[in-house]
Amino acid sequence: MIRYSLKCDKGHDFDSWFASSAAFDRLHAAGHVSCAICGSAGVDKALMAPSVSSNEALAKDADPGGSAAAGPLAAPAPQDALASRLAALRRHVEANSDYVGMEFVREARAIHAGEAPERAIWGEAKLDEAKALAEDGVPVAPLPFGPRRNAN
């Protein structure tokens, strides 16, 4: 699996996982890669940099009190901002797609083959099943959250 930073023609930045670079190229060429925020199909890979620890991050790890000065390589946005964006993504997915649970793989293949009505779905799949879908050209992307679970 490979994660790409992507950017749509409307200026939205987002990440997505693909089975391989070739899988991204096939899905992109077929118009199956769309913006996770606005749905635009005008998506291209964004410039990416490797994830490297900064001296400030290393100093902060060594000094749990966090007395290291924040410099140009300071930590990204706080966790609450990330949690807020993930909650907004969850609300969007739940409002604009059907949850099909463990039937995701079967339903995704049926939609792709034209045997079921085309619609946005989300659900659960094992990693090897998700990889097989992507390798077969079925447009899939992992979500950074799972279904809500009711505890007894």
Tell me, yes or no, whether 134 and 90 share the same domain: yes
β-pairing, 121-123 with 98-101?
A: parallel
Among 21-35, 71-85, 110-124, the least confident range: 71-85
Q: Which of 48, 69, 87 is the last residue of a domain?
A: 48
pLDDT digits (tens, 9 = 90+) for 35-47: 888 888 888 888 7
Among 82-86, 102-106, 109-113, 116-120, the least confident range: 82-86
Q: Is residue 9 domain-resident?
A: yes
Number of domains the chain contains: 2
Q: Report the 10 Å Cβ neighbour count for 27.
A: 22
For the entire predicted model, the pTM comes to: 0.48
Q: Are the beta carbons of 14 and 67 closer than 8 angstroms? A: no
Q: Is residue 53 domain-resident?
A: no
Q: Is residue 62 domain-resident?
A: no
Q: Is residue 68 domain-resident?
A: no
DSSP string spanning 17-85? EES-HHHHHHHHHTT----TTT--S-EEEPP-------HHHHHHHH-TT--SPP-TT---S-HHHHHHH
- The span from the CA of 71 to the CA of 100, in Å, is 46
What is the residue type of 31? G
Q: How confident is the model at residue 104 (pLDDT cuts 50, 70, 90)?
A: very high
Enclosing domain of residue 134 = 79-141
Mean residue pLDDT across the chain:
80
pLDDT digits (tens, 9 = 90+) for 17-67: 888 888 888 888 888 888 888 888 888 888 766 555 555 554 554 445 544
Q: Is residue 132 domain-resident?
A: yes
Q: Is residue 17 domain-resident?
A: yes
Q: Is residue 71 domain-resident?
A: no
E strand or H helix that includes residue 45 = strand 43-45
